[in-house]
Structure 1
Amino acid sequence: MRLNLFKIFIVGILLCSCERAKKQKSIELVQEDTSQAHVPMPLPDSAFVVMNKYSDGFVFDMKYATEDNFLKKKVYACDHCLLRKEVADEIIRANLEFKKLGFRIKFFDCYRPVDVQKQMWEIFPHAGYVANPNTSGSIHNRGGAVDITLVDSLGQELDMGTPFDFFGKEAGHAYSLLPDTTLSNRKLLKSVMESYAFKSISSEWWHYNFKSAHQYKLSNFSTECD
């Protein structure tokens, strides 16, 4: 009788041990699955990202989300700056370079729907300043262009000689009848941006196209706001 009780006792211990092992294994599997579920998937270079959320360190004054623009009306639902991921990654690198010098990039415009481009063309049909939406469209419409300036450590804009969206020769890179400080500010913006795969255009000191953005199709979706 004592032997039988001893056998029952031993069997009970073994069963409990097995059960604990199963539970432990189950917990490990759940933990492993949970960790894998939270690993973020890498985005393709062509994906649109919202710069306001994608990276800090920038300043935003999205003019077309206000009435402070040459259209004199708000045409964006909110001040989100959308760019293709590869464009965003490169301008982040450029901004880090500016920050070493005590400056930061301030955005005026990023991705722009084709419908907004058409409104601009109706008001100012001049290909030197506004890309024709009926032909090639704008690199803005592809998520590969930015309109920017620089601000100092106090958030004050550097003097660039003209306001944003100034349609005149004074806004061009070749215009030299400006104070030396202003010319130096434009040169700084241009030299750093061009060293990070962006190209300037002759008529606008604020506009920069990403080198390979022509590959992307024109887009016409509206920005979704939080």
Structure 2
Amino acid sequence: MAGLFASTTLSAQNKYGLKAQTFKAYAESIRSNPEKELIDLEKFIPDIVLDIRYATTNNFTGERIYNLAKAYARRPVAEALKKVQSDLKAQGLGVKIFDGYRPYKATVKFYEVYRDTTYVASPYRGSRHNRGCALDLTLINLKTGEELKMPTGYDSFSKDAWPTTPVKDPVARKNRTLLINAMQKHGFRVNSSEWWHFDFVGWKKFEVLDIDFEELEK
């Protein structure tokens, strides 16, 4: 099945009254401000692991949303995550990325599949993922590659996924706290309804983007 990005028929940036920056405007913006560049996290951060669920059907939509399994973030976000990874490596741990920068058209798709904005972003405002300033991730054991136990799986639309929900399992509770503390140390804040979702504190300085991964790969 072709991914959402293979289609040119979905021009969602105006459907909800929100203008999203296209590739041409983005390219102009990074010439004047290099911090706005979207960085390929797999190339930038040693030992990082990708599990880009939206490049598969293993996600809440049941559809392949991305054609490429890539993870990007704005330069300051990538630099902060690199510090997180370095800290974790000293403990034999690392980061596994489920999602990074997300084109605006994907946010529209998510909203139209599941309209509860507790768990999906409103297309009227856009997502911090659309700004290249949010990351969905978990922790792994670098030696085995196995994910550390957490309160829920990724994209769990339940209160158990909230970072403030009490966790009975001491291992999952410890791992969730470890992840949150590691990210907060370097300028990230956990989302109120998703333990895996972290927003970079400087996200307001960056525009909503609607640029396909294929354009970034050119």
TM-score, reference length from structure 2: 0.81
- Could you list the runs of 5+ residues in structure 1 that have no partner in the other structure? 1-40
Residue aligning to 2:133: 144
Larger proportion of helix: 1
Residue aligning to 2:34: 44
Residues 23-54 of structure 1: per-residue CA shift (max 9 Å, x gap): xxxxxxxxxxxxxxxxxx9x811111111222
Structure 1 residue 128 displacement after superposition: 1.3
Residue aligning to 1:6: none
Of the three residues 143, 163, 179, the one matched with 2:153 is 163
Of the three residues 194, 203, 208, the one matched with 2:184 is 194
Residues 53-82 of structure 1: per-residue CA shift (max 9 Å, x gap): 222210100010111000111111111111
TM-score, reference length from structure 1: 0.78
Residue aligning to 1:95: 85
> Is 2:77 aligned against 1:82?
no
Q: d(CA) in 2 for partners of 1:206 and 1:103?
A: 16
Q: Aligned in 2, Cα 1:190/1:177: closer, same or farther, shift over 3 Å?
A: closer
Residues 62-109 of structure 1: per-residue CA shift (max 9 Å, x gap): 010111000111111111111101100110001101111110000000
Q: d(CA) in 2 for partners of 1:194 and 1:126?
A: 27
Residue aligning to 1:120: 110
SS of the equivalent of 1:146 reads strand
- Could you list the runs of 5+ residues in structure 2 that have no partner in the other structure? 1-30
Are 2:96 and 2:139, in contact at CA under 8 Å, matched by a contact in 1? yes
Residue aligning to 1:219: 209
Q: d(CA) in 2 for partners of 1:150 and 1:163?
A: 12
Quick one: which amino acid aligns to residue 132 of structure 2? G
Structure 1 residue 217 displacement after superposition: 0.7
Quick one: which amino acid aligns to residue 130 of structure 1? V
Rg (Cα) greater in structure: 1
Q: CA RMSD in A?
A: 1.5
Are 2:151 and 2:167, in contact at CA under 8 Å, matched by a contact in 1? no
Structure 1 residue 126 displacement after superposition: 1.4
Are 2:71 and 2:100, in contact at CA under 8 Å, matched by a contact in 1? yes
SS of the equivalent of 2:111 reads helix
Percent identity (aligned): 32
Q: d(CA) in 2 for partners of 1:79 and 1:214?
A: 26
Higher RCO (CA 8 Å, separation ≥ 6 residues): 2
Quick one: which amino acid aligns to residue 205 of structure 2? Q
Of the three residues 122, 128, 142, the one matched with 1:132 is 122
Q: d(CA) in 1 for partners of 2:97 and 2:104?
A: 19
Moved over 2 A (4+): none
Quick one: which amino acid aligns to residue 130 of structure 2? N
